[in-house]
Amino acid sequence: MLQYVTLEIDGADIVVPRGLSVLDAAIEHGICIPHLCHVRYLSDIGSCRLCIVEHVVNGRSKITTSCTLRVQEDMVIQSNTERIRKLRRNLAELLVAHAPNSRAIQDIAVRCGVKEVRYPFRNENCVLCGRCVRVCSECAGANAIGFVGRGKNRRVDSPFGSLSEFCVECHTCIELCPMSIQPCIGYMEPGEERLCGACESQLDLADELPGHCVWCELGENFQCGRY
């Protein structure tokens, strides 16, 4: 039998099954917590850090990722404070500066309120969210790709660097890849990168209702767990 717990997210009391992550609980109740590496049916690794929230314990708040935090009775979570919004914006800025050629990443930047990018753009084609890696091992059971190297040399690769004999060609990795969706303004050549900003109507939403899920078009693009 399912057991339920009651917790507070952004002032609202919500009741969800035990064992759920705070992120899933929030999304289920229409509370928008931006996220990238999280996919509902895959394990959570807490690597993109976008879904950070403040977990208030005994009056002291601790910042942690909501995807890796399990719901507990009487838990108090704040997902949309000034502090969180600023940190999330800075993280989204790092991501979009690194890999601007993705509608998913561009939309995350919009949703997180990024208005300018203070770093030189790079035109990388991977943000190491690890969606492909996890789906390959957890769903396809193939272990055909994985993270290799460490630090700035970390990359997704197949065993021994050659196209994997283990690949079952299910293509789920490509389906889940945020980099596989081109920005609305089309592919940007090196030197042309910018914040897309094509969806200005969505920009207002992000400003006015940052913590509420309004079924924005953005969510569909950044493969938000609600869609």
The three state secondary structure string of 62-114 is EEEECCCCECCCCCEEECCCHHHHHHHHHHHHHHHHHCCCCHHHHHHHHHCCC
Stretch that binds other proteins, among 1-9, 151-159, 175-183, 186-194 (CB under 8 A): 151-159
- Please list every residue from 43 through 62 that binds other proteins, using CB under 8 A: 45-50, 52
Backbone angles phi, psi at 226, to 5 degrees: -80, -25
Please answer whether residues 40 and 135 qualify as being in contact, where contact means their C-beta atoms are separated by less than 8 angstroms: no
Q: Over the range 9-25, which residues count as b (16 or more CB within 10 Å of their CB) and which as e?
A: bbeeebebeeebbbbbb
117 touching other proteins, by CB under 8 A: no
Stretch that binds other proteins, among 11-19, 161-169, 172-180, 189-197 (CB under 8 A): 161-169
CA torsion 198-203-205-210 (nearest 10°) is 130
Q: Of 133 and 224, which CB lies nearer to other proteins in the complex structure? A: 133
Q: Of 137 and 180, which CB lies nearer to other proteins in the complex structure? A: 137
167 touching other proteins, by CB under 8 A: no
Stretch that binds other proteins, among 12-20, 118-126, 177-185, 203-211 (CB under 8 A): 118-126
Distance CA 139, CA 141 (A): 5
Distance CA 35, CA 53 (A): 11
Q: Of 97 and 104, which CB lies nearer to other proteins in the complex structure? A: 97
Q: How far is the CB of 201 from other proteins (least distance, A)?
A: 28
Residues at the contact surface with other proteins, assessed by CB under 8 A: 45-50, 52, 63-65, 68-70, 83, 87, 90-91, 94-95, 97-98, 118-120, 127-128, 137, 143-154, 157-161, 164, 166
